[in-house]
């Protein structure tokens, strides 16, 4: 599948996430070990999430860094990842918090009849086949008034891959009210460095 963003899932390289898990948190925006980077994400997340404690579903949670921030802000977290090694790390990171980590498909999470106030997804949707279908499935997991918080981007300049904000908002428009895009490329604190590719979050309420 090709979009105006360049290349998307058909071109997404196969990634062995189990093999990547041990070093995943070494990237500043993955592990959030640097207090300045962690604070930058924490400050943004606080503005993206409801003020009151909410039921939050983090899909493709990786090692659980975003889930941990959300749990620290008082939200009840359910996190899902396909990679056993990622799940193991996320469980360790979230131990002692109001959080459960499940192994399963992000596109069809193993949550039964449960419904959520927030679906948080960072850097995963662009890799999933048929994002329009996936978003419809996710919409059905949200309670009325619930919201998507989707952090995505288009990476690289020579052979860019990812999902542009324009494409994602077009996919969300039939499902949500007025998706709002917040650009993230201009804030080096989030990435631990300057970046010049397209990085953004879309917040959209159903
Ligand atoms: C780029 S990492 C992002 C991790 C996390 N969201 C973050 O921002 O730190 C992608 C994650 O998605 C997971 N993943 C990839 N495809 C998946 C799928 N189909 N279902 C569930 N998890 C998936 C990988 O195992 C990996 O942990």
The pLDDT tens digits for 99-129 are 999 999 999 999 999 999 999 999 999 999 9
* 8 in a structural domain: no
- Find out whether the beta carbon of 127 lies less than 6 Å from any atom of ligand 1: yes
Element (H, E) at 12: none
Q: How far is the CA of 43 from the centre of ligand 1 (A)?
A: 22
What SS3 class is residue 29? helix
What SS3 class is residue 161? strand
Instruction: Provide mean pLDDT across the span 152-178.
Output: 93
Q: Which of 112, 27, 108, 35 is nearest to 62 (CA)?
A: 27
- Find out whether the beta carbon of 3 lies less than 6 Å from any atom of ligand 1: no
* 4 in a structural domain: no
Q: How far is the CA of 101 from the centre of ligand 1 (A)?
A: 13
The domain total for the chain is 1
pLDDT of residue 15: 87
Under 8 Å between Cβ of 63 and 31: yes
pLDDT of residue 71: 98
* 106 in a structural domain: yes
pLDDT at position 133 over 60: yes
Instruction: Provide mean pLDDT across the span 26-31.
Output: 96
pLDDT of residue 158: 80
Q: How far is the CA of 25 from the centre of ligand 1 (A)?
A: 13
Render pLDDT for 46-66 as a digit per residue (tens, 0 to 9).
999 999 999 999 999 999 999
* 120 in a structural domain: yes
* Cα separation, 107 vs 99, whole angstroms: 20
pLDDT band at 36 (very low <50, low <70, confident <90, very high): very high
* 9 in a structural domain: no
* 6 in a structural domain: no
pLDDT band at 14 (very low <50, low <70, confident <90, very high): confident
* 146 in a structural domain: yes
For 197, the domain range is 17-205
* 1 in a structural domain: no
Mutate to test the pocket of ligand 1, among 13, 14, 16, 17 (most ligand atoms within 8 A of CB): 17
- The pTM of this model reads 0.94
CATH of the domain at 188: 3.40.50.150
């Amino acid at each position: 599948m090709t979009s105006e963003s360049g290349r998307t899932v058909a071109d997404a390289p196969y990634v062995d996430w189990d093999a990547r898990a041990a070093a995943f948190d070494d990237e500043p925006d993955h592990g959030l070990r640097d207090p300045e980077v962690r604070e930058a994400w924490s400050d943004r997340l606080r503005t993206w999430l409801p003020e009151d404690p909410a039921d939050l579903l983090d899909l493709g949670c990786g090692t659980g860094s975003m889930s941990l921030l959300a749990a620290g802000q008082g939200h009840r977290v359910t996190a899902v990842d396909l990679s056993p090694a990622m799940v193991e790390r996320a469980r360790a990171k979230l131990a002692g918090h109001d959080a459960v980590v499940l192994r399963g498909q992000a596109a069809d999470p193993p949550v039964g009849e449960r419904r959520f106030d927030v679906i948080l997804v960072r850097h995963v949707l662009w890799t999933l086949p048929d994002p329009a279908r996936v978003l419809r499935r996710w919409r059905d997991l949200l309670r009325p008034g619930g919201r998507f918080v989707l952090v995505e981007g288009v990476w690289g300049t020579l052979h860019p891959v990812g999902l542009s904000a324009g494409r994602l908002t077009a996919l969300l428009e039939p499902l949500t009210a007025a998706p709002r895009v917040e650009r993230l490329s201009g804030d080096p604190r989030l990435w631990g460095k300057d970046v010049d590719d397209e990085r953004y979050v879309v917040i959209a309420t159903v």
